[in-house]
Structure 1
Amino acid sequence: ILFYGRGKCSTCHNGPYFTDFQFHAVAFPQAGFGKNGFGVDEGRYNVTHNPFDRFLFRTPPLFNVTKTAPYSHSGSVARLEDAIIAHFDPLRFADPGKMTLRERADLLERLGPASREPLPASLSDDEVRAIAAFLAMLDFEKNLGPHR
């Protein structure tokens, strides 16, 4: 109920593959050099050069999501629960006192596009765990046919 209701997960993670295959913004932290090589991955903008596409990334399918860590476009989030939290509380894991000026400016830039998304309600840690448990039910093993 949380996935389809207050969590608003199904707004983007819908359909038979639990994805709309569209581009959306979540203020995930950046890890690594990014596509442009300067430590800022600007997402869809790197292809279209349309300023409105800055920090937009394709919604990933959720099948086997518990087996695909780390999460986010850059793999900067280790736990599934933290990836869920980043959708509605991206500042929970930010420590501005330990960030460089560039990192703080980058976070501020990511928050703008992310704020235009249909944000879920604030979820408790128990509700986040419940959504993660629901997502674990989407796991499956590839059927390799009869055992020989």
Structure 2
Amino acid sequence: MKINFSYSILLSLILTACSKKESVDPEPQIYQFAVPANFPRPVFDIENAMTREGIELGRMLFYDVRLSGNNKVSCASCHDQKLAFSDGKALSNAGVSGTILHRHAPALVNLAWANNGLFWDGGATNLESQAFGPLTASDEMHQDLFELVDELNAVPEYVKQFDLAFKDQISSQNIVKALAQFQRTLVSANSRYDKFKRNEAEGNLSSMELRGLELVRQKCQSCHTGELFTDNAYHNNGIDADFSNDQSEGLFQGRFRISYNPADMGSFKTPTLRNAALTAPYMHDGRFTKLEDVIDHYSGEIKVSPTLDKTIPTNGFQFNPDEKKAIMAFLNTLTDEEFVTNRELSRP
């Protein structure tokens, strides 16, 4: 009887402890990704399933200056929500060293559909691997990953959040997984154009805006494809003709720097047209300060080289003034005010 009584108490204590553990430390909740009605299906990394806990952790990390070596730079330093997660600079100097970078910081938008490499030259295969670049680059966040893990381990809230998100300790792999999960929630699909496309309220387009849409579909569709307004591919769009004297580690040779395919010389990743009115300056080096400059370039300022994209006429598209105004009018309909004010994407 004594043994049975002790066994009963022990079993009761174990079950109580398990019950408490389950109530305090539940399994991560799978995030139900809502695909906009006019969008294609996204591409997810099956080894990094999106969870509510992982996304919230990624959001905390995205805005945390602890991710930089000097504790002064966060991801948001170069990716500002009110600018559609761009930074408004041609070339940023917000990194730890203060050095002006060689490439323009791209806007972060609809990354769940980015299935063909990241960075302007496609040098990263996915969001998880991409994050290691800015985290460790000496002119960007310049963080030692071992020190970062130690630093976050000293913060009880992070220890708790990593356990909730991954059932695991803090590690550099889990840091980039959380960042990737949050960035995949940066979905912009509620512009006036989208509401027009889905026959929703406030979705009316003027005759000039409709004419601009028609022109974009006729002239720009080969690169700025579909509802994403990007093909996520790489093209030489005629902003340069000579790539032979590049002293910056091949950065201005574009995709060729990664692929070593001569056909890729001068080719850069197609940015989306979504929120284009908010993401100036433009191109991989931020050379164009206004959208009007971009339209002028495609209209008749093309620099011809052997790898110029075949869909771009060597003399440009020769837009007349009314067509330029129409294109501008349409591009403004792609601004998503809900995206740039969504509190779920803002600093925690």
The answer to whether the 8 A contact 1:29-1:76 is kept is no
- 1:40 positional shift: 6.9
Match of 2:336 in 1: 140
Residue 262 of structure 2 is aligned to residue 45 of structure 1: no
Q: Sequence identity of aligned pairs in percent?
A: 34
Provide the rounded CA distance (Å) in 1 between the counterparts of 2:249 and 2:330: 37
Cα 1:117–1:72 shift into 2, 3 Å: same
The answer to whether the 8 A contact 1:36-1:46 is kept is no
- 1:38 positional shift: 7.1
Cα 1:39–1:52 shift into 2, 3 Å: closer
Match of 2:216 in 1: 3
Provide the rounded CA distance (Å) in 2 between the counterparts of 1:48 and 1:42: 11
The answer to whether the 8 A contact 1:55-1:113 is kept is yes
Cα 1:83–1:124 shift into 2, 3 Å: same
Provide the rounded CA distance (Å) in 2 between the counterparts of 1:116 and 1:48: 19
The answer to whether the 8 A contact 1:81-1:132 is kept is yes
Residue 326 of structure 2 is aligned to residue 113 of structure 1: no
Q: What per-residue deviation string (whole Å, max 9, x for no partner) do you get for residues 47-88 of structure 1?
A: 111111001111111111011111111101111111122124
Match of 1:94 in 2: none
RMSD: 2.7
- 1:39 positional shift: 8.7
Provide the rounded CA distance (Å) in 2 between the counterparts of 1:39 and 1:46: 6
How many residue pairs get matched?
Answer: 123
Note the residue ranges of structure 2 that are not aligned, 5 or more in a row.
1-213
- 1:46 positional shift: 1.1
- 1:29 positional shift: 5.0
Report 1 or 2 for greater relative contact order, CA contacts < 8 Å, sequence distance ≥ 6.
1
Provide the rounded CA distance (Å) in 2 between the counterparts of 1:38 and 1:90: 27
Provide the rounded CA distance (Å) in 1 between the counterparts of 2:282 and 2:272: 12
Provide the rounded CA distance (Å) in 1 between the counterparts of 2:233 and 2:272: 11
Residue 89 of structure 2 is aligned to residue 89 of structure 1: no
- Amino acid paired to 1:130: A
- Amino acid paired to 1:85: D
Secondary structure, aligned partner of 1:134:
helix
The answer to whether the 8 A contact 2:237-2:312 is kept is no
Secondary structure, aligned partner of 2:343:
coil
Match of 2:234 in 1: 23
TM-score w.r.t. length of structure 2 = 0.32
The answer to whether the 8 A contact 2:281-2:289 is kept is yes
The answer to whether the 8 A contact 1:25-1:117 is kept is no
Match of 2:115 in 1: none
Note the residue ranges of structure 1 that are not aligned, 5 or more in a row.
92-106
Provide the rounded CA distance (Å) in 1 between the counterparts of 2:281 and 2:299: 18
Cα 1:89–1:39 shift into 2, 3 Å: farther
The answer to whether the 8 A contact 1:24-1:58 is kept is yes
- Amino acid paired to 1:139: T
- 1:123 positional shift: 0.6
Rg (Cα) greater in structure: 2
Provide the rounded CA distance (Å) in 2 between the counterparts of 1:115 and 1:24: 6
TM-score w.r.t. length of structure 1 = 0.70
Cα 1:115–1:23 shift into 2, 3 Å: closer
The answer to whether the 8 A contact 2:280-2:291 is kept is yes
Cα 1:112–1:20 shift into 2, 3 Å: same
